[in-house]
Chains A and B, each alone.
Chain A
């Protein structure tokens, strides 16, 4: 099949997700990426594989979001000196992804930014952990890195370096601010601190148990990752999870969205000096997490989604508890929303602060709730809905202003919509099995794809296995990859003291992008 009128022949991939794959040469890849850009599409992910043991070379995969779903173009590369054209000219967001691919596999973007991303100076420059023949148990001494930050020069310009350890309960990362007076001229991020070698670790796991690791790529999105992983594993083994399991997965996913939105709304009030908001929303979040713990055995619902189905069921009584809690939380949230809306001090801090222009958001392939607050109308639950979302009529929430206020508004509205979805899921939950056994793949598999709209944005898992069901490659992609660069722009021209507020309004994952 052809997509976007390009000369590539795509085939629909097996499984629940609307994903299409094609192989291309360099010219075909470039032309396709340009066509995606022109049609209003976006870059979703970019990753590499070492297929040398299977008699091939390396492969670069580029996943794009288009109206029909996900289009994945694979570019075969030679076993020696693998190189591909720099895609950051078309998709600026490719920059960091390309650098990460080089750090992990030694596949280079010709003419691209040569600086490392995940590799600090703590392992050698020619050590590529994701090469199949690389012994990743090797240990190297820690060394200091001299990273080439971009310098801003001029009268009165100075730098503030922040991190990796931040002044709060936050994940580690480094921010380099160039400022004049209080005004931020430029922010440059340096990440990779929490890189734990997750993708290499997957190679020691089987299809049946990898979901636990996927659920720990970014703990606050454990449900989204576990579901995406299971979609991919089920696609590879032609397993169809039972209907009841799919509905319960959506229940968990929406509960995860509500939990995170509640917490964020509290912290956003707090960062604008309304600590009342924090205690109120954190109280609601605690009530919410306690019910998850009581009903599903885990406050974050880790490991609740497993290949073939779900690990826990919902009783009628549990369903009633969920519905009545949704009513109670909704009442409270509406009261608090009113207080936030009417609070002059809060609105003064929120409005026009940290603005991400919609055109820039499109240029940078920004996805998720940050994207939706800047007019980027991407939400898999409405555009490419898998069951049960195809029956739930999810309302997408978008705003145009792109400021902190818009990101707050998106959270409020999505939260209310998720409460509606949860009540509906509970009332229409189909009867039947909650899990089916996962078959062995039986042969060397191609690529299985999982793609889930988590609370932060779309999570992608690309998975391949050998005939016995051992994982050959598992790539987990966090939406934060595509949103972090936008923060560098949103802060420009704002004052340094507004950075915590703006950063919180993005609330991106470090662990998810470092993995």
Chain B
């Protein structure tokens, strides 16, 4: 145990101040009332869905949980099921083979069903575009509230997008 404690103490607290929301990332008007936002702001549950990404976006979503961004410290955590989620964080162009699964996950998600489309692929289909195998952007398959540009977006951009989704206008 001693080396573990020593390492923890030596490392210290690395968490940084989170970024501010950016209303320019909204694609729809804010749908939630202030009272609800206050609650969500302190306890937001996210379900991540990879709808066909190259996995680059996932690398950066993983980084959100590292001590620097300390997502859990902000009261935000990832859930294993869409049934427990307030917000879906969707990456990738929607692969044709994932279209049904994504729609089903969206249906299972309780209100308010916030959706953040991640990355250039999530926003436009990105370099993969649309074809027999790709439905393109996330909004082609389910409604989207906020977009986070980047290929992949940095953890800071992801955090900005998530905080925007739960911010009052």
The answer on a CB contact under 8 Å between A198 and B128 is yes
Closest Cβ neighbor of B69 among chain A residues: A286
The answer on a CB contact under 8 Å between A299 and B132 is no
* Interface 9-residue window, one of A56-64, A167-175, A321-329, A447-455: A167-175
The answer on a CB contact under 8 Å between B101 and A193 is yes
CA–CA, A218 to B151, complex, Å? Answer: 13
Question: Given A167-B80, A218-B54, A220-B56, are A123 and B7 neighbors across the interface (CB < 8 Å)?
Answer: no
The one of B50, B97, B128, B154 that contacts A171, using a Cβ cutoff of 8 Å: B50
Nearest Cβ on chain B to A117's Cβ, whole angstroms = 11
Q: Does B99 contact A (CB under 8 A)?
A: yes
Q: Does A200 contact B (CB under 8 A)?
A: yes
* Interface 9-residue window, one of A238-246, A274-282, A379-387: A274-282
Question: Given A283-B67, A286-B68, A342-B3, are A138 and B132 neighbors across the interface (CB < 8 Å)?
Answer: yes
CA–CA, A170 to B101, complex, Å? Answer: 15
Q: Does B165 contact A (CB under 8 A)?
A: no
The one of B50, B96, B151 that contacts A172, using a Cβ cutoff of 8 Å: B50
The answer on a CB contact under 8 Å between B66 and A172 is no
Q: Which residues from B are CB-within-8-Å of A140?
A: 96, 132
Q: Which residues from B are CB-within-8-Å of A176?
A: none
Q: Does A164 contact B (CB under 8 A)?
A: yes
Q: Does A54 contact B (CB under 8 A)?
A: no
Q: How many residues of A contact B (CB 8 A)?
A: 61
Q: Does A391 contact B (CB under 8 A)?
A: no
The answer on a CB contact under 8 Å between B52 and A122 is no
The one of B78, B96, B151 that contacts A302, using a Cβ cutoff of 8 Å: B151
Question: Given A279-B67, A286-B68, A339-B3, are A194 and B50 neighbors across the interface (CB < 8 Å)?
Answer: yes
The one of A142, A170, A212 that contacts B99, using a Cβ cutoff of 8 Å: A142
Q: Mark B102-133, 1 if CB is under 8 A from A, else 0.
A: 00010000000000000000000011111111
The answer on a CB contact under 8 Å between B62 and A127 is no
A-B contact count (CB 8 A): 170
The answer on a CB contact under 8 Å between B11 and A194 is no
Nearest Cβ on chain A to B134's Cβ, whole angstroms = 5
Q: Does B87 contact A (CB under 8 A)?
A: no
CA–CA, A342 to B127, complex, Å? Answer: 46
Q: Does B149 contact A (CB under 8 A)?
A: no
The answer on a CB contact under 8 Å between A219 and B96 is no
CA–CA, A203 to B5, complex, Å? Answer: 55
CA–CA, A487 to B99, complex, Å? Answer: 27
Nearest Cβ on chain A to B92's Cβ, whole angstroms = 7
Closest Cβ neighbor of B62 among chain A residues: A169
Q: Does B163 contact A (CB under 8 A)?
A: no
Nearest Cβ on chain A to B2's Cβ, whole angstroms = 10
Q: Does A398 contact B (CB under 8 A)?
A: no
Q: Does A136 contact B (CB under 8 A)?
A: yes
Q: Does A48 contact B (CB under 8 A)?
A: no
Q: Which residues from A are CB-within-8-Å of B131?
A: 129, 136-137, 196-197, 200-201
Question: Given A218-B55, A300-B152, are A142 and B67 neighbors across the interface (CB < 8 Å)?
Answer: no
The answer on a CB contact under 8 Å between A137 and B58 is no
Chain A, 286-305, CB within 8 A of any chain B CB: 286, 289, 293, 299-300, 302
The answer on a CB contact under 8 Å between A283 and B11 is yes
Q: Which residues from A are CB-within-8-Å of B95?
A: 193-196, 514
Chain A, 125-143, CB within 8 A of any chain B CB: 127, 129, 136-140, 142
Closest Cβ neighbor of B78 among chain A residues: A169
Q: Which residues from A are CB-within-8-Å of B76?
A: none
CA–CA, A58 to B68, complex, Å? Answer: 53
Q: Does A431 contact B (CB under 8 A)?
A: no
Nearest Cβ on chain B to A5's Cβ, whole angstroms = 42
Nearest Cβ on chain B to A511's Cβ, whole angstroms = 5
Q: Which residues from B are CB-within-8-Å of A335?
A: 3, 7
Q: Does A375 contact B (CB under 8 A)?
A: no
The answer on a CB contact under 8 Å between B154 and A299 is yes
The answer on a CB contact under 8 Å between B58 and A171 is yes
The answer on a CB contact under 8 Å between A169 and B54 is no
The answer on a CB contact under 8 Å between A129 and B132 is yes
Q: Which residues from B are CB-within-8-Å of A137?
A: 130-132
Q: Which residues from B are CB-within-8-Å of A178?
A: none
Q: Mark B1-42, 1 if CB is under 8 A from A, else 0.
A: 001100110010010000000000000000000000000000
The one of B4, B57, B66 that contacts A285, using a Cβ cutoff of 8 Å: B66
The answer on a CB contact under 8 Å between A336 and B56 is no
Q: Mark B68-102, 1 if CB is under 8 A from A, else 0.
A: 10000000001011100000000011011111110
CA–CA, A167 to B84, complex, Å? Answer: 12
CA–CA, A283 to B66, complex, Å? Answer: 6
Question: Given A219-B152, A302-B56, are A289 and B63 neighbors across the interface (CB < 8 Å)?
Answer: yes
CA–CA, A220 to B97, complex, Å? Answer: 22
Q: Does B160 contact A (CB under 8 A)?
A: no
Question: Given A167-B81, A339-B3, are A196 and B65 neighbors across the interface (CB < 8 Å)?
Answer: no
Closest Cβ neighbor of B52 among chain A residues: A194
The answer on a CB contact under 8 Å between A196 and B93 is yes
CA–CA, A192 to B52, complex, Å? Answer: 10
Q: Does A152 contact B (CB under 8 A)?
A: no
The answer on a CB contact under 8 Å between A168 and B61 is no
CA–CA, A137 to B59, complex, Å? Answer: 30
Q: Does B164 contact A (CB under 8 A)?
A: no
Q: Does A222 contact B (CB under 8 A)?
A: yes
CA–CA, A438 to B54, complex, Å? Answer: 27
Q: Does A338 contact B (CB under 8 A)?
A: yes
24 A-B pairs whose Cβ atoms sit less than 8 Å apart in the complex: A120-B97, A139-B130, A165-B49, A165-B101, A169-B78, A171-B50, A194-B50, A194-B92, A197-B131, A197-B133, A200-B133, A201-B127, A217-B54, A219-B56, A219-B57, A220-B58, A222-B56, A282-B62, A286-B66, A299-B154, A300-B152, A509-B55, A511-B55, A514-B97
Task: Known A-B contacts: A167-B80, A197-B132. Give 10 more (CB < 8 A).
Answer: A129-B131, A169-B48, A170-B50, A172-B52, A193-B52, A216-B54, A218-B54, A219-B55, A282-B65, A302-B151
Name the 8 nearest CB pairs between A and B, nearest first. A219-B56, A197-B133, A167-B80, A282-B66, A219-B54, A216-B54, A197-B131, A196-B128
